[in-house]
Amino acid sequence: MFNAEKVKNECVQWIRDFFEKNGKGCNAVVGISGGKDSSIVAALCVEALGKDRVIGVLMPCGEQADIDMAQLLVDTLGIRRYIVNIKDAVDGITKAIPFELSEQSRVNLPPRIRMATLYAVSQSHNGRVANTCNLSEDWVGYSTRYGDSVGDFSPCSMLTVDEMKQIGRLLGLPAVLVDKVPTDGLCGKTDEDNLGFTYAELDRYIRTGEIENAEHKALIDRKHEMNLFKLQLMPAFDPKL
């Protein structure tokens, strides 16, 4: 049985310990998308460090339909925030590349620019960048390598979507943020549309190994195997000198 309060308290202490060892007095820098993951990570950082040491960075690419959710989060937490519209950067790189980008390249370019933006903010504000991924997404590689998949510390990458929601409710976040239908923020589809199965199925399979739909099991297993490289260190040749 998942004990949300125990895990939440341990995660808060883990964040404090990380900053004590890896950035005493530094700020937590969190990319705020308006979804549950960034909302919960930001709220955990506020509880761990205090709102004066948490910086939210909102990074729309042109118009963002749910930017009001990101604003609601930073207003609720009372944290410092910066809004950096990345559209000009995305357009500039797209135009500068001397060939037509593939669709997947176009989809993954904005999250990579967002991560570069987060590190620019972090280095200018004595910060450490928070990774906002969860275990469910990481399990099937549902992240952009060198985009939202990286950071300096990761409070929730060992928690499933359902477990994160439970913690989000404990943190007192508005229900609209915790229970908001997750979308990729890239091509306008929901996460579950893109994945081909529900998070409820995936979370149960991760924690118990149980799943009724054989096709979904095969799909999850294939995605997990194909995307394990995203969670591993870059391979490096060792000459054994």
> What's the whole-model pTM score?
0.95
Residue 201 in domain: no
Query: What one-letter code names the amino acid at 115?
Result: M
Tell me how many degrees the CA angle 206-134-170 measures, rounded to the nearest 5. Answer: 100
pLDDT at 187 over 80: no
Quickly state the pLDDT bin for 186 (edges 50, 70, 90): low
Contacts of residue 163, defined as CB under 8 A and 6 or more positions apart, other chains included, come to 2, 4, 7, 135, 203
% of the chain with per-residue pLDDT over 90: 91
Amino acid code (one letter) for 221: D
Give the length of the chain. Answer: 241
Q: Is the pLDDT of residue 185 over 60?
A: no
The residue written with tokens 């205090």 in the block is 50
Question: Is 220 part of any domain?
Answer: no
pLDDT band at 210 (very low <50, low <70, confident <90, very high): very high
Lowest mean pLDDT among 138-152, 187-201, 217-231: 187-201
Domain membership of residue 46 (yes or no) is yes
Distance CA 222, CA 4 (A): 30
Give the CATH number, domain containing residue 90: 3.40.50.620
Domain assignment of residue 50, given as a range: 4-182
Residue 172 and residue 44 in contact, taking contact as beta carbons nearer than 8 Å: no
* Residue 222 belongs to a domain: no
239 lies in a domain? no
Tell me, yes or no, whether 194 lies in a domain.
Answer: no
Number of domain units in the chain? 1
Name the residue among 168, 185, 164, 181 with its Cα closest to residue 113: 185
Residue percentage of the chain with pLDDT more than 70: 98
What's the pLDDT at 182?
73
Calculate the average pLDDT of the chain.
95
Over the stretch 152-184, which tens digit does the pLDDT of each residue have?
999 999 999 999 999 999 999 999 999 988 765
CB 226 within 8 A of CB 141: yes
Return the pLDDT at 129. 98
